[in-house]
Structure 1
Amino acid sequence: MTITKPKPKTIQTETSADAFISGAPDAEKAPKGVRKGNKQQISLTISPPLLAKVDELAAKLGQSRAAVINMAIYRMVEHGVTIEP
């Protein structure tokens, strides 16, 4: 049987205090999803017929599906949308 020194007690660091504070119910929540460069990845569900139209438009414009969806969202946010009755 060998004699071992007891491990020193760890002192709580600023990191553990920050973790405690950020775990509070009223703390800001980190955005969901994965960060890719300066963009945030999201999950989106689209009906198959609409997705086919998006893919068709993307092919016609020579753009990716994501680029067409981004352009559509940008235009709607910047210029508004008219919903007809």
Structure 2
Amino acid sequence: MAITRPVPNANKTPTTSDDAAVEAFISGAPDSPKKPRGVIKGKRQQITLTMPPALLEKVDALAAELGQSRAAVINMAIYRAVEHGLTIDGLRKN
């Protein structure tokens, strides 16, 4: 009796484990659209923010007055805008 190689099945449909492996491969790529940007630190995600120096000085002054960090003041301001709305040029957004 001769040993033969199995004939590959060209009609094979991918299994769920194949799908999961493909998804894991794509998600792991450095340029994956599903990969969150920034650095995860505990339950928070680090971002980069740029602002004019004059505004940064005002943020730092407010932080010192409140006894909070710069990051805390920025987080509170963003939270307030998102939760309670924001008015820009007389137009209120909620």
TM-score of the two chains, using structure 1 as the length reference: 0.70
Alignment correspondent of 1:44: 49
Which of 85, 89, 92 is matched with 1:80 structurally? Answer: 85
- Unmatched 5+ stretches in structure 2: 1-17
Q: 1:28 to 1:48 in 2, by over 3 A?
A: closer
Percentage of pairs with the same residue = 65
| Alpha-carbon distance in structure 2 between the residues aligned to 1:22 and 1:63 | 38
Return the letter of the residue paired with 1:53.
K
Cα RMSD, aligned residues only: 2.7
Name the structure with the higher strand share.
2
| Alpha-carbon distance in structure 1 between the residues aligned to 2:28 and 2:70 | 37
Which aligned pairs between 1:1-85 and structure 2 lie closer than 5 A?
17=22, 18-19=24-25, 21-22=26-27, 28-85=33-90
How far the C-alpha of 1:83 sits from its partner, in A, is: 1.6
Contact 2:39 2:47 in 1 (8 A): yes
Contact 2:63 2:73 in 1 (8 A): yes
TM-score of the two chains, using structure 2 as the length reference: 0.63
Q: 1:23 to 1:41 in 2, by over 3 A?
A: closer
